[in-house]
């Protein structure tokens, strides 16, 4: 039995697309930058060396999209979060558009994250 994958009877509610965007997470005693590794309307996988434990509530900001979320799992420098309110199609489209632009520029992942930081005002 496979867990965590939509195909094969897992628990994932929505299909996810691989992306790489910078995000910020905030919560009780938590406030730092993370990388969004994949995204769906209902949640995301984040790269975070200091991932909080499952059940932790976080406020996440990806570009101009903000959501309350709950950590579903955390291990190996990654975590999966479930959004309190699903992203609407326009928000998903905009996040994927931003990811496509950064891919088209052929920047390295670290450079893409630095550009995202600049765009949301963290690197100014």
Provide the pLDDT for residue 67. Answer: 97
- Using alpha carbons, select from 48, 26, 51, 27 the residue that is nearest to residue 36: 48
Per the domain annotation, does 77 fall within a domain?
Answer: yes
Per the domain annotation, does 62 fall within a domain?
Answer: yes
Question: The whole model's pTM is what?
Answer: 0.75
Provide the pLDDT for residue 124. Answer: 56
Number of domains in the chain: 1
CATH of the domain at 30: 2.40.10.220
Residue 31, helix vs strand vs coil: strand
Distance CA 23, CA 36 (A): 7
Q: 10 Å Cβ neighbour count for 114?
A: 15
Provide the pLDDT for residue 108. Answer: 67
Q: How far lies 18's CA from each of 44, 55, 95, 101, in Å? A: 10, 24, 11, 14
Residue stretches of the chain with pLDDT short of 70? 1-15, 101-105, 107-110, 112-113, 116-117, 119-124
């Amino acid at each position: 039995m496979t867990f965590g994958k939509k195909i094969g009877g897992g628990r994932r509610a929505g299909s996810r697309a691989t992306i790489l965007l910078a995000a910020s997470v905030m919560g009780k005693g938590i406030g730092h930058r993370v990388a969004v590794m994949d995204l769906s309307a209902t949640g995301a996988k984040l790269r975070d060396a200091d991932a909080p434990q499952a059940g932790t509530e976080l406020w996440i900001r990806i570009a101009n999209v903000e959501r309350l979320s709950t950590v579903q799992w955390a291990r190996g420098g990654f975590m999966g979060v479930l959004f309190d309110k699903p992203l609407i199609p326009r928000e998903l489209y905009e996040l994927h558009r931003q990811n496509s632009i950064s891919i088209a520029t052929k920047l390295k992942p670290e450079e893409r994250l630095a550009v995202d930081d600049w765009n949301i005002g963290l690197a100014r």
